Amino acid sequence: MWKKIFTTRVIINTVVLISVVLGVYLPIKITMPLSPEVQNAVHLIENAEPGSTAMISINYAGSSIAETEPIAVALIRLCFLKDVNVIICGFFPEPAQLAEGVISTLGKTYGKKPGEDYLNLGLCYPYDAFILGWGRDYKQQTGSISVGDMVHLDPSEYTDLVTSNPSVESVINSIATTIGEDRYIAAHLLDQHQEELGETVYQLLKEQLETVTRDDWPILQPIDGFGDLLFCADITGTSSYQSWIIWSSDYRDEITYFAGTTAISAPEAYQFLQAEQMISVIPGYRGATEIETYVNNQYQSADLFRKQMEQAGFPKEVIAAYVGGASRGMPSLALVHACILILVLIGNIQYFLNRKKEA
């Protein structure tokens, strides 16, 4: 009976599971210095002039979030700590939804102002048009491309209104989450809530919406194209990083580009690094750990980061995910790999013993 339950497969799975769980609790310390392929990106941010602006497109979803979100967090942290402004966008709906969480959490943690220190362009679809358009005269773009015409209302600026009319808060919040979407859609949302808000408040918000144009975003003012950006980066769970390479090929001399990829796409990405189509590859969990460790050692320790997040009032699970990032999983990662290596070894020993027997 035991033989039936403890099949080889079950034993292997159990061992793998135990190794991961052990890694979570064992106090193993694994340090990962910056590898050459990650270094360029980090040094670029480090040596940037305060106030320069970077653009990061976030293109990961649930299936790859574990490796890619830590890259996004570590990079944006470094940018904020070095006073580099960040423009965020997403090429697909699901990532765009996740991107909003990352940038607003870190923005709030570091006391950055939306529109001034960071901006979320939201869903930038179709992405080919977006990349093509940003290269040249993006401010002249019209039509359905969402670049520019964005609206962001900060709920904290409307405290008086909120206290006088509680339903205002939820409406402002829902409009605030359309940040990055067209002005049209925010106006549409506002119209839907006209009755709830009352005429005065409605008019006030409407006016606010209509007067905000893309030129009002301080962060966008000095930027006319890729050449004015410190760098463009894509953090992705798919091969969207190659879309950047393809569609920005006309601006190769102006754009400074790198990609944070999943470990699966990383080996393929190195060739673009060698061909100088990008300056860095940040390969999945390892890359994230390297940047994270570097930022923690050089600029702000994990404890300080945790405290800052606590002060900003984030719940425990959010803090744990952001502060721990990738490095808290490194011991588990090493143990699982060791486990697989041992399994390969045992498999081979068995194979040779059997072959000997057969001979």
Partner 1 sequence: MQRNIPLFLVFILGIIYVLLTFIETSWSEGAVRLASSWAPLLSMWAIVPATYVTLASYGRRLTKRDRNPTTQKAILAGVTYVAFFTMLISGLKSNAEGSLFDWMFRNIQIPVTSTMFSLLTFYIASAAYRAFRVSRAHTSLLMVFAVLVMVTNTGMHTYIPFGQYWNEFSTWFLMTGNVAAKRAILIGVAVGMLATNIRIIFGIERSWMGGGA
Partner 2 sequence: MLTTTIAALLTLGAMSLVWKENIVSRFIEHLILGISLGYGVVLTYRQIFLRLFWVPVTTDFAANWILILPTLIGALWLAQPFQKVRWLSLIPLAMVLGAFSGLGLERIMSSYIIEALEGTVKSLYVAGDLQKSFDHVVIWLGVVCILSYFYFRRIHNPALEKAHEYTRIVGIWWLMASFGVSFGFTVMARAALLIYRIQFLTQDWIGELIKIASGGGM
Q: Which residues bind partner 1 (CB under 8 A)?
A: 8-9, 12-13, 15-16, 30-32, 35-37, 61-66, 94, 97, 100, 125-126, 128-129, 132-133, 141, 143-145, 173-174, 177, 263, 267-268, 270-271, 273-275, 283, 286, 330, 333-334, 336-341, 343-344, 346-348, 351
State the Cα–Cα distance between residues 204 and 168, nearest whole angstrom: 12
* Chain-centroid distance, C-alpha 232: 13
Distance of closest approach, residue 328 Cβ to partner 2, in angstroms:
7
CA dihedral 56, 183, 100, 316 (to 10 degrees): 150
Distance of closest approach, residue 299 Cβ to partner 2, in angstroms:
24
- 258 neighbors 278 (Cβ within 8 angstroms): yes
Distance of closest approach, residue 55 Cβ to partner 1, in angstroms:
19
Distance of closest approach, residue 94 Cβ to partner 2, in angstroms:
8
> Which option in partner 2, partner 1, none does residue 320 bind, with CB closer than 5 to 8 A by kind?
partner 2
> Which option in partner 2, partner 1, none does residue 338 bind, with CB closer than 5 to 8 A by kind?
partner 1
Which C-beta is closer to partner 1: that of 97 or that of 165?
A: 97
> Which option in partner 2, partner 1, none does residue 292 bind, with CB closer than 5 to 8 A by kind?
none
Which C-beta is closer to partner 2: that of 275 or that of 359?
A: 275
Q: What share of the chain is helix, strand, coil (3-state, %, to 5)?
A: 60, 10, 30
The backbone torsions φ and ψ at residue 55, rounded to the nearest 5 degrees and listed phi first, read -120, 125
Distance of closest approach, residue 188 Cβ to partner 2, in angstroms:
5
Residue 345: how many other CB atoms lie within 10 Å = 10
Q: Which of 135, 143, 220, 217 has the alpha carbon at shortest distance from 182?
A: 143
Sheet holding 53-59, edge to edge: 118-123, 85-90, 53-59, 232-236, 257-261, 281-283
Which C-beta is closer to partner 1: that of 215 or that of 250?
A: 250
